[in-house]
């Protein structure tokens, strides 16, 4: 069994490598990274994986790589995944997310045969649902897609491209729509990880005892990344190609409550909160809570790790170790 993970140096990619290596040690793991990729997330993975320098925007490079490896499963995680960045650089977001995925599909299509048709999991997003009405919660896969950011638009395109390539060419594409996920190694630009980093810096005196925040009223459905990567793996075995599946906990957390819980974990007791208008988005999704019943029925999966008690504590510990290592 050979698997190829795009975006392997990222947050989810590094956890997926760990999961596969621990649970399926017979698997040969290949990962795509760019020559300029930050490898902090994967330095501990040496010996578990074979790396390949490749930019998914380069069709020729992608084609040669997939033709050489001929993976049995592809986990397509590479993306410009930070919503605020998509407002600043919409064209780059579209190029990476849409053109990059198209290059992967085309590379597989060119060598597809009766004996070679790999399962391809594409990491779509709950952001596709966008403007969700109160009566539409929890959100099912059949809910209308009303994207509210360039990032969300790019994910809708990826999602529907997956459907089109399945219908047109029979590619075995699994369309997973993951809701918010977090845990150790989450990038500092993402909300709960950003709060945890600020608190860790406050604890050692590197940061004033003030946490900068944006919109605290939004409600998000969080799942631990270690549960998410198990779901991704199962999707390539248990899910129906061409179909879309929500992967989520089914529980909503108000961002303000997440922040307050992280503060309660801190050794500092005089932390104040400052709302920074620069952290606001041109438009924001007020509530995203998913219905995971379709995916659960197909795979038997359900989250095992409690977000508030375990994920946030592990995220705090990760940032404590990271900021102290830089002293």
Contact 270, 209 (CB under 8 A): yes
Q: Which residues contact 309 (CB under 8 A, 6 or more apart)?
A: none
Question: Is 267 inside a domain boundary?
Answer: yes
Which of 261, 81, 258, 73 is closest to 154 using CA atoms?
A: 81
pLDDT in tens, 208-250: 999 999 999 999 999 999 999 999 999 999 999 999 999 999 9
Looking at the fold, whether 137 and 75 belong to one and the same domain comes out as yes
Q: Residue 263: which domain range?
A: 184-220+251-286+305-325
**CATH number of the domain within which 74 lies:** 3.40.50.720
Looking at the fold, whether 77 and 211 belong to one and the same domain comes out as no
**Residue that the structure tokens 């989450």 belong to:** 186
Q: Which sign, positive or negative, has the C-alpha torsion 142, 146, 148, 150?
A: positive
pLDDT in tens, 286-307: 888 999 999 999 999 999 999 9
**Residue that the structure tokens 């041109």 belong to:** 282
In the chain, how many domains are there? 2
- The predicted model scores a pTM of 0.95
Q: CA 104: distance to chain centroid?
A: 18
Beta bridge pairs of residue 46: 49
What is the model's pLDDT at position 91? 96
What is the model's pLDDT at position 327? 67
Distances from the Cα of 277 to the Cα of 29, 41, 183, angstroms: 43, 31, 26
pLDDT in tens, 92-106: 999 999 999 999 999
Distances from the Cα of 212 to the Cα of 74, 197, 312, angstroms: 38, 11, 18
Residue 237: φ, ψ to 5°? -105, -35
Question: Is 279 inside a domain boundary?
Answer: yes
């Amino acid at each position: 069994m050979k698997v190829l993970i795009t975006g392997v140096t990222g947050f989810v990619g590094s956890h997926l490598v760990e999961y596969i290596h621990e649970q399926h040690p017979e698997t040969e793991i290949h990962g795509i990274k760019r020559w300029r990729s930050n490898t902090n997330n994967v330095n501990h993975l040496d010996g578990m994986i074979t790396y390949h320098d490749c930019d998914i925007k380069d069709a020729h490079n992608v084609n040669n790589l997939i033709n050489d490896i001929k993976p049995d499963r592809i986990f397509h995680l590479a993306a410009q995944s930070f919503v605020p960045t998509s407002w600043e650089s919409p064209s780059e977001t579209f190029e990476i997310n849409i053109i990059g995925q198209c290059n992967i599909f085309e590379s597989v299509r060119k060598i597809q045969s009766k004996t070679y048709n790999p399962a391809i999991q594409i990491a779509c997003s709950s952001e596709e649902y966008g403007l969700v009405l109160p009566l539409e919660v929890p959100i099912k896969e059949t809910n209308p897609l009303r994207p509210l950011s360039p990032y969300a638009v790019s994910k809708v395109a990826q999602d529907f491209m997956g459907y089109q390539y399945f219908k047109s060419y029979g590619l075995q594409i699994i369309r997973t729509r993951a809701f918010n996920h977090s845990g150790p190694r989450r990038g500092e630009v993402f909300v709960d990880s950003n709060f945890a980093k600020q608190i860790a810096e406050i604890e050692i005196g590197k940061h004033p005892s003030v946490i900068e925040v944006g919109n605290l009223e939004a409600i998000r459905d969080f799942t631990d990344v270690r549960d998410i990567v198990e779901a991704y793996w199962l999707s390539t075995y248990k899910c129906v190609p061409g179909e879309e599946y929500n992967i989520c906990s089914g529980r909503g957390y108000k961002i303000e409550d997440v922040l307050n819980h992280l503060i309660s974990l801190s050794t500092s007791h005089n932390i104040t909160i400052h709302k920074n208008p620069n952290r606001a988005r041109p438009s924001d999704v007020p509530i995203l809570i998913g219905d995971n019943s379709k995916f659960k029925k197909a795979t038997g999966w359900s989250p095992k790790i409690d977000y508030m008690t375990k994920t946030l504590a592990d995220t705090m510990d990760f940032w404590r170790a990271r900021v102290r290592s830089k002293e």
